Amino acid sequence: MSRVSVLVAVYNAACYLPECLDSLTGQTLRDIEIICVDDCSTDNSLDILNGYASRDNRIRVIRLAENGGQAHARNVGLGFASGDFVCMLDADDHFSSDALECAVNVFDRHPSTGCVLFDVVMEYADRAERYQMPDFEVLTGGEALRLSLTWRIHGLYMVRADIHRSHPYDEMCRLYSDDNTTRIHYIASGSVRRCDGIYYYRQHEMSATHSVSVRRFDYLRANESMLRQMKDMDVAQDAVAEYNDHRWLNMIDTYMFYHCHGAGLTVEERQYGLEELHRVWQTMADMMRGRSVASKFGYRPMPSWPMFRVQEWLYFSLRGLLGRNK
């Protein structure tokens, strides 16, 4: 058994893999296992993985028979994990040499801790920026959940293996599954702390979450999956209500995407997106009446779907004239 199991899901990441794997094999904490799951890459990622595994017996390489997405690949890797703690590292990212040791030291000093957040540096093509979080030493799981809803704290962390096995990655949605899993892990934690070890996160300008893609509407179903999991965990009703507020704001934000970028989608994709928005509006409109987040123009549920659509068209058209849409 190792102290830490690191999950690396790989898909066509050949140009980044050496930096990623070098950062793992060079960790000051030596008692680790590195579980790499190749999700049917079509470049030479698998050759690179096998080459590293031949030189370091801490690396296990698993090749999937068909592409199942990042959440599935990570869950396959989780099934092989034997460490006391688990963390993931994207194949295009890397750690500081002391990152894992720093996180484990926090767990050792504070046995009730469920998750330890890394310090994060966002790497862009032309610059690097430290992720700014509130100053804290320890949070309750509920406090961490609330801060994560607006990403005042991020989702790059090490977690106790028993928590992760009880709550694997959410495969209900291929996109945004990280968001759900992070928040469920925070809820399940007795406390959440931070360490000084650095996770270097590569920010791609044209990633699926930043480009015009029909997959943007997946966020609506990801939110519904998160809500189901919260209810299964018997999370307090005030936290569920707060998450529903968050879902409503996400629905409005997704409508803005539809309004501003729908022309970049096919006719079929626009129709699908509108149907998804309508479906979510139907399930949420009644519960949001009277909620403060749904009280101002542009956010009101309105008595009917046609009236809601007129409101959104007016709201985002006016915002567009003021240059405030994104």
**Residues 107 and 231 placed together within one structural domain of the fold:** no
Helix or strand or coil: residue 77?
helix
Evaluate if residue 206 carries a pLDDT over 60.
no
pLDDT tens digits along 266-305: 999 999 999 999 999 999 999 999 999 999 999 999 999 9
Domain presence at residue 208? no
| Chosen domain end from 161, 177, 202 | 202
What does residue 201 show for φ and ψ, rounded to 5 degrees?
-105, 120
Evaluate if residue 39 carries a pLDDT over 70.
yes
pLDDT range class, residue 204, cuts 50, 70, 90: confident
Q: What's the one-letter identity of residue 129?
A: E
Residue 114 DSSP code: E
Domain presence at residue 172? yes
Q: Which of 208, 165, 268 is nearest to 69 (CA)?
A: 208
Count of domains forming the chain? 2
**Residues 187 and 285 placed together within one structural domain of the fold:** no
Evaluate if residue 207 carries a pLDDT over 70.
no
Assign residue 102 the CATH number of its domain.
3.90.550.10
Q: Which whole-number Å values give the CA distances from 280 to 8, 179, 295, 302, 305, in the listed order? A: 34, 19, 18, 14, 11
Selected residue with higher pLDDT from 37 and 324: 37
Structural domain harbouring 242: 214-321
**Residues 195 and 228 placed together within one structural domain of the fold:** no
| Calpha distance 51→21 (Å, rounded) | 11
pLDDT of residue 212: 85
Q: Which of 170, 167, 189, 172 is nearest to 180 (CA)?
A: 170
pLDDT tens digits along 219-250: 999 999 999 999 999 999 999 999 999 999 99
Evaluate if residue 210 carries a pLDDT over 60.
no
| Chosen domain end from 174, 202, 230 | 202
Evaluate if residue 319 carries a pLDDT over 80.
yes
| Calpha distance 209→191 (Å, rounded) | 29
Domain presence at residue 231? yes
**Residues 296 and 151 placed together within one structural domain of the fold:** no
| Calpha distance 280→306 (Å, rounded) | 14
Helix or strand or coil: residue 117?
strand
Domain presence at residue 95? yes
Q: Which whole-number Å values give the CA distances from 125 to 19, 89, 128, 205, 206, in the listed order? A: 16, 19, 8, 9, 12
Domain presence at residue 207? no
| Calpha distance 196→118 (Å, rounded) | 6
| Contacts for 185 with CB less than 8 Å, ≥ 6 apart | 114, 115, 157, 159, 163, 164, 167
Domain presence at residue 326? no
pLDDT of residue 29: 98
**Residues 181 and 121 placed together within one structural domain of the fold:** yes
pLDDT tens digits along 55-78: 999 999 999 999 999 999 999 999
Evaluate if residue 201 carries a pLDDT over 70.
yes
**Residues 145 and 245 placed together within one structural domain of the fold:** no
pLDDT tens digits along 85-133: 999 999 999 999 999 999 999 999 999 999 999 999 999 999 999 999 9
Per cent of the chain over pLDDT 70 is 98
Domain presence at residue 166? yes
Evaluate if residue 174 carries a pLDDT over 80.
no
| Calpha distance 114→162 (Å, rounded) | 9
pLDDT of residue 62: 98
**Residues 167 and 46 placed together within one structural domain of the fold:** yes
**Residues 170 and 229 placed together within one structural domain of the fold:** no
pLDDT of residue 1: 79
- Exposed e or buried b for every residue in 126-152, given b needs 16+ CB within 10 A? eeeeebeeeeeeebebbbbbbbbbeee
**Residues 144 and 254 placed together within one structural domain of the fold:** no
Residue 89, both tokens: 């590292």
pLDDT of residue 95: 98
- CB-CB neighbours of 63 under 10 Å: 14
| Contact present, 316 and 290 (Cβ < 8 Å) | no
**Residues 179 and 292 placed together within one structural domain of the fold:** no
Q: What is the mean pLDDT of residues 145-157?
A: 97
**Residues 116 and 184 placed together within one structural domain of the fold:** yes
Query: Judging by beta carbons within 10 Å of its beta carbon (0-12, 13-18, 19+), is residue 33 exposed, middle or buried?
Result: buried
Evaluate if residue 205 carries a pLDDT over 80.
no
Evaluate if residue 255 carries a pLDDT over 90.
yes
Domain presence at residue 74? yes
Evaluate if residue 177 carries a pLDDT over 90.
no
| Chosen domain end from 176, 202, 228 | 202
In the chain, how many H helices and how many E strands? 11, 10
pLDDT of residue 281: 98
pLDDT range class, residue 137, cuts 50, 70, 90: very high
Cα angle 149, 116, 143 (rounded to 5 degrees) comes to 35
**Residues 44 and 183 placed together within one structural domain of the fold:** yes
Per cent of the chain over pLDDT 90 is 93
What does residue 205 show for φ and ψ, rounded to 5 degrees?
-65, -30
| Calpha distance 110→119 (Å, rounded) | 18
